[in-house]
Amino acid sequence: MSRLAIAMDIGTSGLRAQALDLSSRDIISTVITTRHPLPGANVIDHIHFALEIGLETANRIIIQAVNRIILELHINTEKVVRLAVCGNPIQLSLFQGIEIRDLAFAGKRKLESLGVVSPEREAVITATRNIPGLNLPAGCDVIIPPSVCHEIGADSLAMIIQTGMLEKDETSLATDYGTNAEMALLHQGRVFTGSTAAGPALEGQQISCGMLAVPGAVSDLNSDISCQRLIVLDSEMIPAEGPLVDMSDGSVIDAGSGVRPIGITGTGTLAIVLQAMESGLILLPCIRTMDSRLHLTGDIFFTEDDLMNAGKAIGSVRAGHITLCREAGIGLDDIRTAYMSGASGTYVDPVKAQKLGMVPPRVKTVFQVGNTSLSMARDLVFDLSKLDLMSSLADKLREHHCLFAASDTFKKVFILELSYWTEGMPISMYRKFLKKYGFPDLPPPGATPEIVHTVKRDIDDLGRMGLTIIPDIGGKVRATMEGCTACMNCVEECPENAITIIQEADSAAVTLDQSLCSGVACRRCERVCPHKCFDLSRFFCITSEELATPWE
């Protein structure tokens, strides 16, 4: 009887998992979710939720989501003997249900006043029975890799290991282009790490028409004479030629291969910014069209606020790179090789990313390596010794981790970025300030680097049973609010359209989609309620039996 294993990446913007055959080492099936099951759009929202509603509830929601994913892998779970999960410290802690407050507050004074003791977060192999609620055989091993510190976790270790950068003797830089962009600079045997809160723009969020990488998403633009050819992800998530448009008014010149665009991904956002800057439609910080917007087709547009959000994200990555170089005592132009990981890092055109400043200017080679977190989890289930490798690397990384939020270098450079993107400060002045501060220079990009795609898409091999996408990972929960008159104010106020109300005989039933909800930092539904009877926590402090739409 063949033994099976599951590799899982718990990402902030969604979960991905693969079922594997341990003897043949084949990938059987792949499941991804389009959202994270917890309310909110970033890790801080997730952690905030756990703080206010309760760690146990957060843990339970994640475990339920994991169970649903396991179900959708369509394998005989009785045969599963190993589950490896990879992700950042917050996600892994929420999965394990351990202390998270040290991750919630970066300030020491606050932690001391709360009396928080940080857990070690070392590598663990435990049995399913120790993770309550997990629908796998009791004796199945659950492998949880170690973290370096609160900002750098197993996902970053995965990036450093899976790129293979450590095995080469050259100055190289690996970056995971996500909401939190983690980066690692290797120079003369030392690894310098950092993590910057780039914001969700690089994942296509906080952008008017932004979305995650799903079929129909615009992932790139190619300049075609005076117009832009939209590159749209097809049903297999492979980039295909979409319509040819004039961005100044969105007029469509030809329809291309017929894939209809529905939104813009993070990489699409970067391409829009670059192409519009190059064609003069953007003159920072303004969009120079009649309505101060760029148009990809009739209903997909890009605003000056979007430009500002994208600029801040791009800028924080570049500021991180410059900061790490200063820590290592080298120039940006000393970096020979760049590794780009994460969904954005895989789909983005490296040359465009370089022109925008997200890839060091003088690299000779760029590797696009895909989702390293999932491939790390895969390696872990096949080879448990990789866990030791991760642990020893974690120890090594603790020596040279740079906390950007406390770094004077990072702050100064980020202010230069802010000024460049939002005030239109010329790049010449940017460089003048770098010189004045004694920071590494920012030369313009050199010769086009060699591009090596180690994968064709984010997840390279989907397995013989292929890909399943779960669009509705969050539970829909129903609750009755005493005093509710079904005035619908909360339904209208909700920015994510997560609430529905059904008027029943003598009361009203309110339903919330947990994964659509913006989280406890929002609570607009509560504030708008005229009877003050709306209680957001009611949707979470219940057992799974009360789910309005149980998963089939």
Residue for token pair 């615009």: 218
Report d(CA 530, CA 357) in Å as an integer: 49
Report d(CA 333, CA 447) in Å as an integer: 12
The distance of closest approach from Cβ of residue 179 to other proteins in the complex, given in angstroms and rounded to an integer, is 12
The answer to whether residue 441 forms part of the interface with other proteins (CB under 8 A) is no
Furthest-apart CA atoms within the chain: distance in Å: 73
The distance of closest approach from Cβ of residue 114 to other proteins in the complex, given in angstroms and rounded to an integer, is 9
Closest CA to 376 of 459, 297, 262, 314: 459
The distance of closest approach from Cβ of residue 183 to other proteins in the complex, given in angstroms and rounded to an integer, is 17
Residue for token pair 């606020």: 305
The answer to whether residue 532 forms part of the interface with other proteins (CB under 8 A) is no
The distance of closest approach from Cβ of residue 197 to other proteins in the complex, given in angstroms and rounded to an integer, is 7
The answer to whether residue 336 forms part of the interface with other proteins (CB under 8 A) is no
The answer to whether residue 418 forms part of the interface with other proteins (CB under 8 A) is yes
Which lies closer to other proteins via its Cβ, residue 316 or residue 354? Answer: 316
The distance of closest approach from Cβ of residue 486 to other proteins in the complex, given in angstroms and rounded to an integer, is 22
The answer to whether residue 105 forms part of the interface with other proteins (CB under 8 A) is yes
The answer to whether residue 299 forms part of the interface with other proteins (CB under 8 A) is no
* 50-69 footprint of other proteins as x/- string (CB under 8 A): -x------------------
Report d(CA 105, CA 92) in Å as an integer: 17
Tokens, residue 350 = 């490296």
Report d(CA 162, CA 373) in Å as an integer: 8
Q: Residue from 9, 45, 151, 182 that binds other proteins (CB under 8 A)?
A: 45
Which lies closer to other proteins via its Cβ, residue 43 or residue 380? Answer: 43
The distance of closest approach from Cβ of residue 255 to other proteins in the complex, given in angstroms and rounded to an integer, is 13
* 500-519 footprint of other proteins as x/- string (CB under 8 A): -------------------x
Find out whether 25 and 461 touch, Cβ atoms under 8 Å: no
| Beta pairing class for 180-187 and 190-197 | antiparallel
Report d(CA 219, CA 520) in Å as an integer: 31
The answer to whether residue 48 forms part of the interface with other proteins (CB under 8 A) is yes
The distance of closest approach from Cβ of residue 491 to other proteins in the complex, given in angstroms and rounded to an integer, is 16
Report d(CA 125, CA 142) in Å as an integer: 6
Report d(CA 518, CA 38) in Å as an integer: 9
The answer to whether residue 208 forms part of the interface with other proteins (CB under 8 A) is no
Tokens, residue 315 = 């800028």
Q: Which residues contact 108 (CB under 8 A, 6 or more apart)?
A: none
Q: Residue from 63, 425, 498, 499 that binds other proteins (CB under 8 A)?
A: 425
The answer to whether residue 538 forms part of the interface with other proteins (CB under 8 A) is no
Q: Residue from 74, 78, 106, 399 that binds other proteins (CB under 8 A)?
A: 106
Q: Which residues contact 516 (CB under 8 A, 6 or more apart)?
A: 35, 39, 474, 496, 497, 498
| Contact stretch for other proteins (CB under 8 A) within 8-16, 286-294, 368-376, 478-486 | 286-294
CA angle at 128 for the pair 122 and 133, rounded to the nearest 5°: 110
Report d(CA 89, CA 46) in Å as an integer: 12
Binding site for other proteins (CB under 8 A): 42, 44-45, 47-48, 51, 104-111, 113, 197, 224-227, 244, 246, 248-249, 251-253, 279-281, 288-290, 403, 405-406, 411-412, 414-416, 418-419, 423-425, 429, 433, 519-524, 527
